[in-house]
Amino acid sequence: MKNEELKTLVKEKYGEIALQSKETNETSCCGSGCCGDVDYTIFSESYDKLEGYNPDADLGLGCGIPTEFALIKAGDTVIDLGSGAGNDCFVARALTGEKGKVIGVDFTQAMIDKARENAEKLEYNNVEFRFGDIEKLPVTANKADVIISNCVLNLVPDKVKAFSEIYRVLKPGGHISVSDVVLKGELPETLKQAAEMYAGCVSGAVQMADYLNIIVDAGLSNAKVQKEKQIVIPDEILLNYMTAQELSDFHQSGTGIYSITVYAEKPVLGCGCGCNC
């Protein structure tokens, strides 16, 4: 599919997910029958014991906990890319405090509406949610001390453009902590072509080495994997997209699907004012 078709697919899938609870997502894939048998909660981790966690904002769609390694300090401006119902934003707010600022960006209107409703219930006046595309962020340059994202950038068709925008929006000396899905080895063609697997964060994933290279090529430095976890998708799900023989070949190929959390920094250039002088 073309980039705009992929974006439309993601909007539709996640717009339906936004209308469901985490419990519904866990028991019926994305809760609306929209995605066959792809279980989004295979990737997610528990936030239950984290300060700032709000169950109403947790739809079980992440593949890590980026705030765990984000080095967020009191007073920081934090931007969450693909903020969903606000889960990571509210955890980030607990770290940045009332003097900080948290901005969530998402291009699914239903998610923005749900996140704003959650923020209003919690009476947070320093958390806001903006509708926008990660490939063209609705944020001024040199704005964020920290940028986080949780299992979202693999859904962005143009990852080079996405990380270029991340670089633009970060302050010099700022950094990222992003959790995402990557590959080691090649997926079978049937999985690559499955729309459900794209929306389920699998077929949109790129090679781990390529992912890290995109980050470095965008101008970010000191890129390192903070956490790595192999994702095991049950055979009964995979068999919806391939034959038994293809499944056997896939297991023998050594291909792995991984959740990683990556750190990188925007260098301080020139005089340190962000002007590159």
Q: CATH number for the domain including 225? A: 3.40.50.150
User: Which token pair is 204?
Assistant: 């949109």
Is residue 80 in some structural domain?
yes
pLDDT 10s digits, 91-130: 999 999 999 999 999 999 999 999 999 999 999 999 999 9
Tell me the C-alpha distance between 10 and 220, whole Å. Answer: 27
Calculate Rg over the CA atoms of the chain.
18
Average pLDDT over residues 20-47: 55
Judge whether 50 lies within some domain. yes
Q: Looking at the domain assignment, is residue 272 inside a domain?
A: no
CB contact burial 229-247 (16+ within 10 A = b; e otherwise): eebebeeebbeebbeeebe
271 in a structural domain = no
**Residue 277 within any structural domain of the chain:** no
In a domain, 183, yes or no: yes
Cβ within 8 Å of residue 4, ≥6 positions away: none
Q: What are the tens digits of pLDDT across the range 246-276?
A: 889 988 998 888 999 999 999 997 654 545 5
Average pLDDT of span 9-32: 62
Q: Is residue 274 part of a domain?
A: no
Q: Which range marks the domain in which residue 143 is found?
A: 3-265
Q: Is residue 276 part of a domain?
A: no
Number of folded domains in the chain? Answer: 1
